[in-house]
Amino acid sequence: MRQPFATAIALFVMTGVHHAEAAGVHVVRRIPGYTCMMLNETPQQAVDPRVQIPVRAEPKSESPPVGNAMPVVAVKAPLQSVNGFYEALFPNGRRVWIGANRVVPYHSLGDPAAKCAPAVMSNGLVGFDYYH
């Protein structure tokens, strides 16, 4: 009787661990060589859908946009401007370019002590590891 009971307990624990790992998106590992920047916007601009900051395929203003920047951007470190653009990683892992004057070092209005590091997330996207 004891062995089946122990097996059942082990299965229960293993199942619980599996669910705990599967629940929600989480950080897998940090990405070296990149730093956190955030969009250079006022709080009003940050929530205004009319304000979109494009990211481009090449460091040229005439290069077509490949998307709009997210609020926090993984920028290649150390910072090096090319034609006024910084190289960055888009959430889908694509290398893009964003206007150097469009981003500032990461700092949170609601959590001034927060720090940030670009990271690979459990869903495979490029995200961020926030810490204090």
- Restricted to residues 47-86, the positions that interact with another protein (CB under 8 A) are 47-52, 66-68, 70-72
Task: Note whether 32 binds another protein by CB under 8 A.
Answer: no
Task: Note whether 41 binds another protein by CB under 8 A.
Answer: yes
CB of 33 or CB of 124, closer to another protein: 124
Question: If you count DSSP H runs as helices and E runs as strands, how many of each does the chain have, helices first?
Answer: 2, 10
Task: Note whether 17 binds another protein by CB under 8 A.
Answer: no
Q: Which of 19, 35, 62 is nearest to 119 (CA)?
A: 35
Question: Per-residue x/- mask for another protein, residues 87 to 116, rule CB under 8 A?
Answer: ---xxxx------------xxxxxx--x-x
CB of 4 or CB of 112, closer to another protein: 112
In whole angstroms, what is the distance from residue 116 CA to residue 132 CA?
8
DSSP state of 82: B
Question: How big is the CA angle at 87 (ends 75 and 59), to the nearest 5 degrees?
Answer: 150
CB of 60 or CB of 94, closer to another protein: 94
Strands (E), the chain: 27-30, 34-39, 54-56, 65-68, 72-76, 85-89, 95-99, 103-105, 115-121, 126-131
Q: What are the residues binding another protein (CB under 8 A)? A: 23-27, 38-39, 41-43, 45-52, 66-68, 70-72, 90-93, 106-111, 114, 116, 121-123, 125-130
